[in-house]
Structure formats: structure tokens, C-alpha cells
Structure 1
């Protein structure tokens, strides 16, 4: 079967990443997923959908692992597809703590490695591989409103997402011939939200708001958000707004 789209999705084992991976299971698609575990159900769904899927297990919080992964992925990307897509979705909200208590260097470093460093490494490898192909190439970085609005207790999360946003703007300014967006996906009913709701109020004073959003059913589902994001990626004007929010679109 002719491959028309090559798509790479990180953090694909659960939540939004899992929903995005399932939404990309289409005939003619070569899907590469990155997560810390193998998903047999996804493999079966891919076979039923006539989609090729390669699942790679890696911990992107480890810079050396992320570097090896980047080399592994690009070494196996097929040439000749019409579109190449990289979705940098993997991320963590932790460590959650007030600034005067942020003393765990390993946890802070792991968060930056996952939320920022792995994105940069994968993007570099992706660009080096796809730019010579002359195809439609799109990069979507899953960001957060936290990168654009300071939130008490989220010093690390806000800093990493702000870094991701600005890195995306730099990449756009360099004009590599790819379309790139850093997208806030809204408040989604995922494991990350469970982590947020379980936070100590002294570490995260805004915990009551997120508990209320959940109790009132105001969180969007991963499947609904993924469907909206995949429609957004397909838009002709994708990349015209480098920093965007999926809530701006139906």
C-alpha cells in the first residue's frame, strides 16, 4: 500500500497522545508512536484499519534516551510520502510546588528534558530528514495556557511550556520550510488532571478550581480534543498562528 502520510506521536500510551494515535489510524498512514509501554490494542486497531504502526518504547525524560530515539526514528522514516507530521505531545506537569520549595534538581531536570529537550532533539532529527524531501511537513507542539499565564505552584510547568512556545517561534522565524504551531489543547480529562487534583493546596493553591471543573463535567474528553486537533492540523492555514489554542476552533 502506498504511504501518503508519515506521522510521529510522542506520549502515545494514554490520554491525548493515545487518542491522537488512534485518530491517525488510516489506510496509507505510517504511524510511529513513542511511549514507555507497548500497546497491543493499538497494534490490533492499526491492522484492522490498514495502517502501518511502529511502536517505540522510550523514556523521553532521559536526554540520552531521547537522543537515541531521534536517531532511530529518522533512520527508518520512509521517503516518498505526501505529508510528514511530528506531534510532540509527551509532557509532565510535575513537580508541583511553590517556588521556595523547588529543590529537587533531578525532578526539575527530568521535567525540562521531557517537556523541552526531547522536543528539540526530535524536531532537529525530523527537520534534517524531511526537509530534503520537498513534502508537506508539519510540526505540532502540544503546549498549555500555563506557558502564557503564570500559575502559582506550576513554576516548572509554566517555565517549560513558555520555553516550548518561544522555541516554536524561533523555529518559525528561521523559515525551514515546515509549518509549525505550539497549541494549547484546553483542559482535558486525562491522568495529568488527576495529578493536578491530587495536589496539596499548599503546593498548588488553585487545586479547587480544577476539582470543580471535573465535578461539573467541564473537562473535554481526549477523543473529542484529538479529533479537533487532527482537523486543525489538516487546515490549509495551519501554521499561520504560531501560538494557538484549540478552543479558538469548533
Structure 2
């Protein structure tokens, strides 16, 4: 029987893949959600005596996301003492001035960055026993708290995720649920590579991100993942609803 159930969305690469690997611990059931199964995760889980289940889903599809969310909770074994939901899935696209946005790109970002977290959290709230230690961590961004030209969609969706976190915390007062939105800092991931490939006309701050990369100031995903998992288990987790891992 697994005493701890950890669910990680967007686990196929970048920070999500690092979180999934770091969460592989004895006595844990790790559940990952992404379009493709994280490479080598199944073998890694076996080596670390961690049960693992993967659900292939496009988190840009809210109907499919809701179905998977409800299905995975119905299939979880009973008796877990701890539930950890890490809503990590996210996209920085589209990177473009607000005047050039189109419906498909906006909808895709809204579904991945906001709706997926809402639907997975709703499934946990309605399915995980209230007697268990339930914690939800939404991976946000400093962009949700500071506007940047070219990132109108990314900034808006991360700000929405922050406000959603605050609202759920109010709704769940007295229920035992703990929830927080955490900015992870600037990490050396494929998302950062995509940002650096953007033209200055679309994202004026691109040279700043290139300079961070050249000067070695991007954090390693494994290091950040370890710090985030430690943060998730802090006794005071959830007291600060909008947080930044760089403060720890």
C-alpha cells in the first residue's frame, strides 16, 4: 500500500520531468500526466521502489483532461495518508504582441496553464478523503506578478492561476486542504530555449534571457525540483499562498 500519492502534470520534460524523478521514493505512488510518457521514468521508479502510473493526455483539451482527472482518482488505491498534486503543466506560447493574438493560441494557453490545474484540483477535492493530508502546489511564475511586453497571454494565465489559488484557499478554510502557487525561478529547460529563440519584435526582453543563459544563471531542473519537493513538505506549506522558491 502506498502511503503517499504524488500527481505531477506536464511531466514529460523540463521541470515536470525533474519533479517526477525526484518524487520517486519508496512507499510513493507517482502518477504522471502528459502527452508522452517521461523517458526512463518507469525504470527509475522500479529502481527506487516507487509505484508509477502514467496517463497520456493532451492537457490543452479540457474535456480529455477532465475525463482523465476523474478516471485516475477513481482508480487510485485507498488508504493513502498523503495526497500531493503538483500542477506543473504550462506553456509560454504565444509570445507575441497583444495585437497579433489569435483565438487558437489564446485558448491553448488558457487550457494548459489554467483549466488543467482547475480540473485536476477539482478532482482531488471531490475524491481524495478529507481525513488525508492533501496539498496542492500550482507552479506559477513571476510573470503572473509582473507584466512583460510580448507575454500578455503568459502573464495573464499565470496571474489567473495565482488568483485561482487564493480563491480555493478561501473556499477550503477549515477543510485541511493546503494550497499555494509557487514561482520556480529561471530554469534551464526547453521553455527557456524557446524564449531565447524569440525575435525581439515579439519579445523585447529576449536579450535579458540570453544573457542569463550565457552567464550560467539558469538553475538546473533537478536542483529546483528537489527544493520544490522539500518546500511542499514544509510544516508551514500553504500559509504563504503566492510564493517564490528563491526565497528558500
TM-based fold match above 0.5 = yes
SS, match of residue 21 in structure 2: helix
How far did residue 38 of structure 1 move?
2.0
- Describe the SS at the equivalent of 1:244: strand
Query: Counterparts of 2:40 and 2:187 in 1: how far apart (Å)?
Result: 22
By how many angstroms is 1:177 displaced?
Answer: 2.4
Query: Counterpart of 1:220?
Result: 219
CA contact (8 A) 2:12 2:39 kept: no
How far has the Cα of 1:133 moved from its partner? 4.2
1:121 aligns with 2:119: yes
Distance 1:152 1:40, change over 3 A: closer
Aligned to 2:187: 188
Give the conservation status (yes or no) of the 8 Å contact 2:130–2:176: no
Among 161, 164, 169, the residue aligned to 1:167? 164
TM-superposed CA distance for 1:79, in Å, is: 1.8
Report the Cα distance in structure 2 between the residues aligned to 1:53 and 1:207, rounded to whole angstroms. Answer: 38
Question: Match of 1:153, SS?
Answer: coil
CA distance in 2, matches of 1:173, 1:152: 32
CA contact (8 A) 1:139 1:181 kept: yes
DSSP-derived class of the 2:40 partner:
helix
In structure 2, C-alpha distance between the alignment counterparts of 1:15 and 1:91, rounded to whole Å: 11
Please show how residues 1-250 of structure 1 align to structure 2 within 5 Å: 2-102=1-101, 104-130=102-128, 132-174=129-171, 175=173, 176-249=175-248
Q: Root-mean-square deviation (CA), in Å?
A: 0.9
In the TM superposition, residue 195 of structure 1 has moved relative to its aligned partner by 0.7
Q: State the distance in 2 between where 1:14 and 1:39 align.
A: 7
In structure 2, do the counterparts of structure 1 residues 40 and 146 end up closer, same or farther at CA, with 3 Å as the change threshold? closer
Q: 1:173 Cα deviation (Å)?
A: 0.7
Deviations 1:187-239 (A, max 9, x none): 00000001100001000000000000000000001001001101101110000
1:69 Cα shift? 1.3
| Contact preservation (8 Å) 2:15, 2:221 | yes
| Aligned partners of 1:80 and 1:133 also within 8 Å | no
Q: d(CA) in 2 for partners of 1:220 and 1:113?
A: 27
1:77 Cα deviation after fit: 1.9
The whole-number CA distance in structure 2 between the counterparts of 1:91 and 1:69 is: 18
Query: In structure 1, how many angstroms separate the alpha carbons of the residues matched to 2:7 and 2:43?
Result: 18
The structure 1 segments of at least 4 consecutive aligned residues displaced by more than 6 Å after TM superposition are none
Q: Where in structure 2 are there 5+ consecutive unaligned residues?
A: none
2 CA distance for matches of 1:238 and 1:133? Answer: 17
CA distance in 1, matches of 2:49, 2:150: 45
CA contact (8 A) 1:79 1:133 kept: no
